[in-house]
């Protein structure tokens, strides 16, 4: 019998902004050569690293400590690492940096010098020549965790070559920053209304994986980014969802907890 892979802790962020015709979410297209959901449109995110849980990361976080973060996620400890990973991945994959100073004041990064330094730091972090937390220390910045809201918990089913235990968050994009894909792990970026993304997927124009679709369906009816964040804040008991892949008479089906046959 093949060994069942243990899912790796991961964090994903649904980044929202208000547009002329309703709120939009940021989606990135994964590199076609990726060995995990290549070509699919996803939210920024990735695995939780050891440095996300270290004391240096905690010292560079504002508005939330590990005790409170762990309580929100239903963990005994280590919850803050998911929040840190969330904003680190948002910076690495989309170039958005949500930070403040030691007094909690948001730091504006829209002037030409800040844009240049931000782009250079992102290239260095993605190349592995600089550490993300060390970059924050050098720039005297703190990750602003106050706007991150926990919204969902999905686990990759048994079967795929990689498995993730993923916490989904929602955050509003910094108004003074421009999102761009990293041209490595991701090859395109797009701001799109959730309802339009779902329609494009139904037409076969936008490839998305199951958790992405279900999270979009949960928030597509809201009218503004504020309503999405209010919805996330209202959630009290977020259920861990681990789909199961089954073969029924030659047809592959995805079952969720509560579906007929899920517990067989």
Domain locations in the chain as residue ranges: 8-255
Q: How many CA atoms lie within 13 A of 67 on its CB side?
A: 0
Instruction: Give the dihedral sign, CA 167/228/42/129.
Output: negative
Region of poorest pLDDT, from 86-100, 143-157, 174-188, 236-250: 236-250
How long is the chain? Answer: 264
pLDDT at residue number 185 = 86
Instruction: Please give the mean pLDDT across all residues of the chain.
Output: 92
Q: Which of 12-16, 163-167, 252-256 has the highest mean pLDDT?
A: 12-16
With 60 as the cut, is the pLDDT of residue 2 above it?
no
What is the predicted pLDDT for the residue at 35? 66
- Alpha-carbon distance 55 to 57, whole Å? 5
Mean pLDDT within 2-6: 68
Q: Report the pLDDT value the prediction gives residue 1, as an integer from 0 to 100.
A: 41
Write the pLDDT tens digit of every residue in 58-103: 999 999 999 999 999 999 999 999 999 999 999 999 999 999 999 9
Q: What is the pTM of this model?
A: 0.93
Name every residue whose Cβ is closer than 8 Å to that of residue 261 and which is 6 or more positions away in sequence.
246, 248, 255
**Which CATH architecture describes the domain 8-255?**
Alpha-Beta Complex (3.90)
């Amino acid at each position: 019998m093949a060994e069942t892979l243990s899912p790796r802790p991961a964090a994903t962020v649904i980044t929202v902004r208000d547009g002329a015709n309703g709120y939009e979410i940021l989606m990135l297209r994964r590199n076609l050569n990726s060995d995990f959901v290549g070509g699919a449109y996803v939210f920024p995110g990735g695995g939780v690293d050891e440095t996300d849980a270290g004391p240096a990361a905690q010292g560079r976080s504002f508005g939330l400590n590990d005790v409170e973060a762990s309580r929100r996620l239903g963990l005994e400890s280590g919850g803050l690492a998911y929040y840190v990973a969330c904003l680190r991945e948002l910076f690495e994959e989309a170039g958005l940096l949500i930070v403040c100073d030691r007094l909690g004041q948001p730091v504006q990064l829209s002037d030409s010098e800040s844009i240049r330094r931000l782009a250079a730091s992102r290239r260095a972090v993605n190349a592995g020549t600089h550490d993300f937390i060390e970059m924050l220390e050098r720039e005297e910045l703190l990750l602003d965790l106050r706007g991150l809201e926990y919204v969902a918990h999905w686990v990759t089913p048994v079967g795929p070559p990689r498995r993730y235990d993923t916490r989904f968050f929602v955050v509003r994009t910094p108004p003074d920053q421009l999102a761009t894909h990293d041209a490595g792990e991701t090859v395109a970026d797009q701001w799109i209304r959730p309802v339009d993304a779902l329609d494009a997927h139904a037409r076969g124009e936008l490839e998305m994986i199951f958790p992405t679709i279900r999270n979009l369906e949960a928030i597509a009816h809201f009218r503004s980014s504020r309503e999405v964040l209010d919805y996330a804040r209202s959630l009290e008991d977020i259920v861990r969802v681990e789909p199961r892949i089954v073969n029924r008479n030659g047809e592959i089906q995805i079952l969720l907890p509560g579906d007929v046959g899920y517990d067989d």
